[in-house]
A = this chain, B = another copy of it.
Amino acid sequence: VYYEDTDAGGVVYHSNYLKFMERARTEWLAHMGLELPWMERELALMFVVRRASVEFLKPARLSDTIEVDVEVKALKGTTIIFTQRIRRGEELLITGEVTVVAISATSFKPCGFPALVRERLTQFCLND
């Protein structure tokens, strides 16, 4: 947690936790070989956040080291529902549920996951 993340209340500004959650989702996808620019370029696929619901239980502070986890709650036709938790050590700070929709990078309309993406997501969700 850097100065940029905090506000005059001395804690992380609330909307910045959504950034931390997206960083974690991006790394999680990249870990499966699904890098965002690659999917946009090769598969004409983009992800957009459709819904987010966040509980701010305890604040994070300057220089805290926090961990953000990513869990897939559901994988449907065009959407992934993630459950995410932000922790400082053992302490649970934030919980959130984020619904992400796959859209076509050309029409910007929701579209089904290409086979390759669906396969990797399914495989990962079953194994983990």
Contact = CB atoms under 8 A, between A and B. Distances in A.
- Indicate how many identical chains form the complex: 4
Nearest to A30: B63
Nearest to A8: B6
Nearest to A26: B2
Majority SS of interface residues in chain A? Answer: mixed
Interface stretch (A49-57, A66-74, A77-85): A49-57
Given A4-B15, A52-B54, A62 B37 contact: yes
A53 B56 contact: no
Contacts of A4: 7, 13, 15, 19, 22-23
B2 A23 contact: yes
A55 B61 contact: no
